[in-house]
Copies of this chain bind each other. A is one copy, B any other.
Amino acid sequence: MDIQNYMQTLGRQARAASRLLAAASSEAKNTALLAMAADIRARAATLLAANAQDLEAARRSGLEPSMIDRLTLTEKGVEAIAIGLEQVAALPDPVGEITDVKRRPSGIQVGKMRVPLGVIGIIYEARPNVTADAAALCLKSGNAAILRGGSEALHCNQAIAECVRNGLAAAGLPEHAVQVVDTTDRAAVGALITMPEFVDVIVPRGGKGLIERISRESRVPVIKHLDGNCHVYVDDEADPARIVPIVENSKTQRYGTCNTAESLLVSRTVADLCLPAIGTMLAGKGVEMRACPESLALLTEAGIAADKLVAATEQDWSEEYLGPIIAVKIVAGLDEAIEHINTYSSGHTESILTENYTNAMRFLREVDSASVMVNASTRFADGFEYGLGAEIGISTDKIHARGPVGLEGLTSQKWIVFGNGEIRR
Contact = CB atoms under 8 A, between A and B. Distances in A.
Given A219-B216, A374-B418, A399-B117, A424 B249 contact: yes
A402 B398 contact: no
A417 B372 contact: yes
Interface of A: 19, 22-23, 96, 102, 104, 106, 108, 110, 113, 115, 117-118, 200-201, 215-216, 219, 221, 223, 239, 241-242, 245-246, 248-249, 253, 339, 342, 351, 362, 364-366, 368-377, 379-381, 385-387, 397-400, 402-404, 412-424
A350 B41 CA distance: 45
Pairs of residues from A and B, 7 with the lowest C-beta to C-beta distance, nearest first:
A376-B419, A249-B423, A373-B417, A375-B419, A379-B424, A242-B421, A400-B400
Given A104-B386, A110-B386, A219-B216, A412 B417 contact: no
Main secondary structure of the interface of A (DSSP, over half): mixed
A398 to B, nearest CB: 5
Given A22-B368, A113-B365, A221 B421 contact: no
A96 B118 CA distance: 31
A75 B371 CA distance: 48
Given A22-B368, A115-B365, A376-B417, 4 more contacts: A113-B365, A241-B421, A246-B423, A376-B419
B245 A398 contact: no
Given A113-B365, A216-B219, A365-B23, A377 B201 contact: no
A324 B239 CA distance: 70
Contacts of A386: 104, 110, 415
Contact of A364 (B113, B118, B412, B420): B113
B245 A417 contact: no
A402 B418 contact: no
Given A370-B414, A415-B404, A385 B424 contact: yes
Contacts of A22: 365-366, 368
A366 B118 CA distance: 12
Contact of A118 (B23, B216, B368, B377): B368
A418 B376 CA distance: 8
Contact of A414 (B200, B371, B400): B371
Contacts of A366: 19, 22-23
Contact of A421 (B246, B370, B400): B246
B368 A19 contact: yes
24 contacts: A19-B342, A19-B368, A22-B365, A23-B362, A108-B385, A110-B385, A110-B386, A118-B368, A200-B399, A201-B399, A216-B219, A242-B421, A245-B423, A351-B417, A368-B414, A371-B414, A371-B417, A375-B419, A375-B422, A376-B422, A381-B417, A386-B415, A398-B412, A403-B414
